[in-house]
Structure 1
């Protein structure tokens, strides 16, 4: 522990020495830009909203505290040809030298931004303070009195558009008494344009909308008028009313090559068919059923052009694994004296068949092994973009630390799984329109695995039927209509049975090492406010996510057992064909929020709760459905499955460290370090509890007057390597409050730390939340 303190003191001493030379590479007559602040005299104009207009910022700080990368750069020598100096400069940041012209441009842009908010008399003053070779820069914003819209008028000579705008007037962003905010005016132009693009106005854009603003003399009042300009394709054209376009014909081209010319005449077509008056052109063979093409089309012949329906069509076709790209193009055509649109839906085929191999190393509680798998995937099995997958897996692991006579000392597993995913909602008695609108995919799956350990052999088989769908790229739903799992143990060693099962002391062992049937249903909900804009849940923007899940098992079987007066077995359980079944209900809820501080730093929060209740035909939850605490995604001061339940300190048997209730909460400060590395400082809290009081888990039962005293707390630091497509995470956690002790030094490790006792290291892929 003493060495840890010495290392910490040494580290901070190095930083202090480096800070003394922060201006080492600042030329004479120049200044290091040490600080930039935006200050406003109006609480309605927030400095954070104006930071984006600052064109020059000081060197970045780790955790908003220390300019570590600048100090690393300053540790390099003057000779740039030496490798050590090159390396230090590469991983560090060169000093930011104050630039007068950049500061002036920032001042001008901030002024313009505030004036656009309605404060047309706003001014911005630059204030600089220098000390030695360092400079602090402040932009002091004086907003003045805002301009207010006194009257609002509309100059719209196109009667049809005027009618549409009148019907949509409740959604307008403009109103009398509002600030004369240029940004709001522009948003209203875009809102009107989006609305008209949904009403057939194919060629409309927001440049046809403008404003005039007359200020009342000696006041801060504005008379605002919105103008709609007539349609003109060229300057010399005669102005006319805007056309509404209808769809004339819809054509499908299924073998479009995006690398070739987009001209229709250059697309290679060998044959065509007509399906429900839709021409479908293809090169060699039509690889998708015509009904699949028309079912994913969200507009029809004769419809008014609707930009939203076009985007929905892009989304629908984008869900089909058989397709790689989709391009929808419109061409004007004259039918009689009416101008209409011919539509071409051009599709690019994806690679339908693929084989992949995976090889991985495993480490289960120190036991090393390896696993390999091979999988085959077909993305267009029945010519309807159905995805078929089959995967074979094998694993081997050398087991150490076994005591007693077992016939082998290794673990082997063989398994196969297969699934087929249909890009539509398959369910009887539902209308075609409902199935298309819900945009769900249907998946059927089968899994089988055989596991052989020194203590027992186990077979696990399951079958599932589920639905998944996404709403607006932010909300995901999943319904498990039915998931049937069968656990079969054909062989258990006599020693294992005698030591752990026959003694009757461990209810979890007894329950989970018998043949078991689990027939469950469930629903899960996931919402992420950032949608596709979020990257690895990192510091891209403010966002939050919600996850909820509920599932139940055994209810239908229990009702059948009661209705048929089925006899119970010797353990007091109903059994189907001699196999007892589990019965429980389980619910989980998680909330996470990410707050962006600046482009390098963010603050993340997480809270979660879960409860699983056995009832009816069961006295405990199947082990796979129980909760555990500790590990890389929980309270990181404890190793995985090493915390709880309650104040139970553990007895070396991980099965005893599981529970029916779980609470988790975390706060994490994340900061970009250098290159692709990010750092984190975190505090975690949580634990698990049992619903019933079991002799082999003393102190583990949940009690309202005690549970808050049994919440464990940990703190620590983390290092993350963000490789864009995945994140490698290294976290080191220290215990702060240990609920296994009611009092004394061991309950408060934060005051009396012991590194060898209280530290836990975690390696994981992805962020903890």
Structure 2
């Protein structure tokens, strides 16, 4: 931009941004309330603990602010009274929060009450009004902590019957500890713990409200004597454990008076209108067994397992006392989905490789193939895509056919002793895929996969694939002249595109907790190919080809070990902002029968979810300069780190500031790419760095993302010129994508 144009933009933007402060109609007689601060007077360790406990008490919340601006308030000021009532502006504007609308006296009382219930029975709370200029004001609340009250002793009920014996036996897991500061929240959680423990021992009709925890403060100086008792009004049916007598399964519960058939197997009764689910398929998912004690965990496992079956829309259970004292009948009600489903899905995809374009998927699904809730799914897909890179248009299309057969249990079952409660699935899949980069090559691939998937503790998922077979080929007739010239100059790349068999296995571990203020996500995996085949060929002293490779069905098979780790952690500062981090490491090692990793198993960086100022596959390996006209660069090793600060702007609109750093490398030295191998003492010199800002429209069911990225460091430039010195703010790399980058 020329200097006069820059000045004109400044003259326009400065007044416009200043008006976004939202102070237009604020009077000095009733200032704008801008928030509060809380000061805790007391021991340093207690101050640190108390602040998070009282942070959510002060009300009301001030107007949302971004930098110096209050966009929602500014929009409110710009609209007339009638305009503010229009549906379009709902959740996009907010009225000013004025000092006259606040009630600091009530807030002080609420703070005092919250502190009281955290063991500080003698405390004081005061507040001061702080003026910020003439038209803004805030409050400072000062909390003075005195000596807290601590638990001196905890008494549990005497074991005079089975109920009190169970409570007494669980005391070792008690949340009430001698010497701990009293907390009402801890006392409530202790009641819930006792209730949960009893429900694991048959007490289905017990309730946490039947437990009383009395706190006596007269036994000493700031000491509390806690006494846990069962309330006298606890009903008789809540005081005894229950065992399961009969289990009734309504396999297709839709109409109450419809004609049904009943199949009895022992104390199980399968009641069905259509007889389209076998007894064995449903019994596998019911862990409350006749003659066994009721437990809440078995109940939850049963409902969860049945709801996971593809043919089941909804599953619930009811329990009614029947027969002798302490016996229950369990009734399972299942609502089924339609067995057969046909669908056509039209979509537009934005890939991390900067390819985008329309696609279509035709699907056929049978959710109950053999009356055992097995699912067969057949997908036929096609997509036409275009990559626009540095003014060049690179077209491509993809066609694929895939068969998936999923059994909701381990098959064969004797192979695993993990138990059905882990929601196991056995998956067998096969398919064909054609990817044609019209400007470079055409790749055909056929795959067969057999594996298992199971979960653990709602947070951990395991995926084991004992058999993975992939065959890839790139016909010579499909290669462009420019691509063939590049392969001729780079024998290592040529070998990665050769016809290859991959016969191996893989395992992946995922840890993904669904709650907590700060969230950790971990995905780690390893896959290996060719090792068993190499051992067999070596033991049988099979012949090799001219390059020293063993041949399988006329094609050399690949042999490698490949590991990968994806670690993410989010620091949630509050409900409106958080810092999300990601670290990725991947290492592929060609061994034995291979000197390079197969192309489809190599790593790359760049694109909408990686180094966002670089086109996908346009960086690396190492500090190698990308060849002219070819942006499909891959490597054996990947290291990448990402930081992204996410914050709310207004309504569904969110903002982000981000930084990406990383690269790919070769595991072995390559004469054609002398700067591409990984070396521990020099790899930091090969790091590419990008940074930028972005906008996200988060509609809950979908996230539209627009990122503006700038290159800070280019590893393949000459030494001394790799760090950018003249960043053009108005000329970023623009990334359009669906979903968050990580």
Same fold (TM over 0.5): yes
Secondary structure (helix, strand or coil) at the match of 2:269 reads strand
In the alignment, what sits opposite 1:383? Answer: 371
Question: Which deviates the most, 373-382 or 90-99?
Answer: 90-99
Secondary structure (helix, strand or coil) at the match of 2:574 reads coil
In the alignment, what sits opposite 2:633? Answer: 657
Work out the CA distance in 1 between the residues paired with 2:621 and 2:226.
Answer: 67
Question: Which deviates the most, 29-38 or 144-153?
Answer: 29-38
Match of residue 142, structure 1, among 116, 141, 144:
144
Matched, 1:314 2:303: yes
Work out the CA distance in 2 between the residues paired with 1:174 and 1:41.
Answer: 26
Match of residue 60, structure 1, among 64, 84, 94:
64
Q: What's the CA shift for 1:554?
A: 0.8
In the alignment, what sits opposite 1:482? Answer: 467
Kept in 2, the 8 Å contact 1:72–1:91? The answer is no
Distance 1:100 1:397, change over 3 A: closer
Distance 1:121 1:700, change over 3 A: same
Work out the CA distance in 2 between the residues paired with 1:318 and 1:374.
Answer: 26
Kept in 2, the 8 Å contact 1:678–1:720? The answer is yes
Match of residue 439, structure 1, among 419, 423, 437:
423
Kept in 2, the 8 Å contact 1:165–1:192? The answer is yes
Kept in 1, the 8 Å contact 2:34–2:136? The answer is yes
Match of residue 523, structure 1, among 493, 507, 510:
507
In the alignment, what sits opposite 2:31? Answer: 31
- Aligned-residue CA RMSD (Å): 3.1
Work out the CA distance in 2 between the residues paired with 1:82 and 1:165.
Answer: 62
Matched, 1:324 2:313: yes
Q: What's the CA shift for 1:588?
A: 0.8
User: TM-score scaled by structure 2?
Assistant: 0.91
In the alignment, what sits opposite 2:218? Answer: 216
Kept in 1, the 8 Å contact 2:501–2:555? The answer is yes
Question: Which deviates the most, 690-699 or 316-325?
Answer: 690-699
State how 1:356-371 maps to structure 2 within 5 Å.
Answer: 356-361=343-348, 370-371=358-359
Matched, 1:251 2:248: yes
Match of residue 481, structure 2, among 491, 496, 506:
496
State how 1:588-627 maps to structure 2 within 5 Å.
Answer: 588-627=564-603
Q: What's the CA shift for 1:368?
A: 7.6
In the alignment, what sits opposite 2:727? Answer: 753
Secondary structure (helix, strand or coil) at the match of 1:492 reads helix
Matched, 1:466 2:451: yes
Secondary structure (helix, strand or coil) at the match of 1:545 reads strand
Q: Deviations 1:168-202 (Å, cap 9, x if unpaired)?
A: 22211122212122211111111011101111112
Kept in 2, the 8 Å contact 1:269–1:281? The answer is no
State how 1:582-593 maps to structure 2 within 5 Å.
Answer: 582-593=558-569
In the alignment, what sits opposite 2:227? Answer: 225
In the alignment, what sits opposite 1:344? Answer: 331
In the alignment, what sits opposite 1:764? Answer: 737
State how 1:575-586 maps to structure 2 within 5 Å.
Answer: 575-586=551-562
State how 1:346-425 maps to structure 2 within 5 Å.
Answer: 346-361=333-348, 370-396=358-384, 413-425=398-410
Work out the CA distance in 2 between the residues paired with 1:186 and 1:252.
Answer: 36
Kept in 2, the 8 Å contact 1:69–1:93? The answer is no
Kept in 1, the 8 Å contact 2:245–2:290? The answer is yes
Matched, 1:731 2:718: no
Work out the CA distance in 2 between the residues paired with 1:509 and 1:47.
Answer: 58
Secondary structure (helix, strand or coil) at the match of 2:276 reads coil
Distance 1:736 1:244, change over 3 A: same
Kept in 1, the 8 Å contact 2:354–2:615? The answer is no
Distance 1:391 1:98, change over 3 A: same
Matched, 1:630 2:606: yes
Work out the CA distance in 1 between the residues paired with 2:386 and 2:110.
Answer: 66
Distance 1:724 1:277, change over 3 A: same
Distance 1:128 1:218, change over 3 A: farther
Q: Deviations 1:193-215 (Å, cap 9, x if unpaired)?
A: 11011111122111221122222
Question: Which deviates the most, 168-177 or 363-372?
Answer: 363-372
Distance 1:675 1:682, change over 3 A: same
Distance 1:10 1:201, change over 3 A: farther
Q: What's the CA shift for 1:616?
A: 0.7
Distance 1:755 1:7, change over 3 A: farther
Matched, 1:560 2:536: yes
Q: What's the CA shift for 1:40?
A: 1.6
Q: Deviations 1:262-307 (Å, cap 9, x if unpaired)?
A: xxxx564532121233111123x12210011111111111222211
User: TM-score scaled by structure 1?
Assistant: 0.88
Question: Which deviates the most, 675-684 or 512-521?
Answer: 512-521
In the alignment, what sits opposite 1:236? Answer: none
Question: Which deviates the most, 445-454 or 141-150?
Answer: 445-454
In the alignment, what sits opposite 1:676? Answer: 652
Work out the CA distance in 2 between the residues paired with 1:127 and 1:410.
Answer: 66
Distance 1:634 1:435, change over 3 A: same
Work out the CA distance in 1 between the residues paired with 2:123 and 2:211.
Answer: 27
Matched, 1:569 2:545: yes
Distance 1:10 1:565, change over 3 A: farther
Work out the CA distance in 2 between the residues paired with 1:200 and 1:483.
Answer: 45
Q: Deviations 1:601-648 (Å, cap 9, x if unpaired)?
A: 111111111111111111111111111111112122212112222222
Q: Deviations 1:563-608 (Å, cap 9, x if unpaired)?
A: 2222211232211121111111111112111111111111111111
Aligned length: 730
Work out the CA distance in 1 between the residues paired with 2:388 and 2:64.
Answer: 49
